[in-house]
Amino acid sequence: MNINLSRISTIITFELVRLFKTKRGLLALLAFATIWFIILYYFVSSASATVTSHSFESMAEKLFGALGLSALLDWPVAEYAIYWLVAIYFFPSFALLVCSDQFCSDKQRGTLRFITLRTTRAELVLGRYLGQLLIMAILILLTSVATTILASVRDISLLSDSILLGSKLSLEILIVVMPFIALMSLLNTFVTSARLAIVVATLFFALGPLMVTFIEYQFGQTFYLNLLFPGEKISSVLSQSSVGVSQYLLPLIQTVVLLITSHLIMKRASL
Give pLDDT tens digits for 17-49.
Answer: 888 888 888 888 899 999 999 998 888 877 666
pLDDT reading at 53 higher than 80: no
Work out the average pLDDT over 87-104. Answer: 91
Q: Are 173 and 91 in contact (CB under 8 A)?
A: yes
Using pLDDT thresholds of 50, 70 and 90, give the confidence band for residue 113. confident
Q: Distance between CA 190 and CA 227 in Å, rounded?
A: 22
Nearest to 165 by CA among 246, 53, 87: 87
Q: Are 223 and 215 in contact (CB under 8 A)?
A: yes
Using pLDDT thresholds of 50, 70 and 90, give the confidence band for residue 62. low
Q: Which residues contact 132 (CB under 8 A, 6 or more apart)?
A: 15, 95, 98, 99, 102, 181, 184, 185
First-to-last alpha carbon distance for the chain, in angstroms, is 20
pLDDT reading at 63 higher than 70: no
Q: What is the pLDDT of residue 59?
A: 59
Average pLDDT along the chain: 86
Using pLDDT thresholds of 50, 70 and 90, give the confidence band for residue 237. confident
Q: What percent of the chain has pLDDT over 90?
A: 45
Per residue in 163-197, pLDDT (tens digit) is: 999 999 999 999 999 999 999 999 999 888 989 99
Residue 162, classified by CB atoms within 10 Å of its CB into exposed (0-12), middle (13-18) or buried (19+), is buried
- Full DSSP string of 68-108: T-HHHHT-S-HHHHHHHHHHHHHHHHHHHHHTS-SSHHHHH
Q: Are 230 and 179 in contact (CB under 8 A)?
A: yes
In this prediction the pTM is 0.88
Work out the average pLDDT over 134-144. Answer: 95
Q: Are 127 and 8 in contact (CB under 8 A)?
A: yes
Q: Which residues contact 234 (CB under 8 A, 6 or more apart)?
A: 88, 89, 92, 176
pLDDT reading at 68 higher than 70: no
Residue type, 198: I
pLDDT reading at 92 higher than 90: yes
**Helical pair 245-268 and 121-154, crossing angle rounded to 10 deg:** 150
Q: Distance between CA 12 and CA 28 in Å, rounded?
A: 18
Nearest to 103 by CA among 92, 79, 119, 88: 119
* DSSP code for 223: -
Q: Which residues contact 39 (CB under 8 A, 6 or more apart)?
A: 86, 90
Q: Phi and psi for 131 in degrees, rounded to 5?
A: -65, -45
Q: What is the pLDDT of residue 242?
A: 62
Work out the average pLDDT over 73-85. Answer: 83
Using pLDDT thresholds of 50, 70 and 90, give the confidence band for residue 139. very high
Neighbours of 87 (CB within 10 A): 25
pLDDT reading at 69 higher than 70: no
Dihedral sign (CA 87, 92, 93, 98): positive
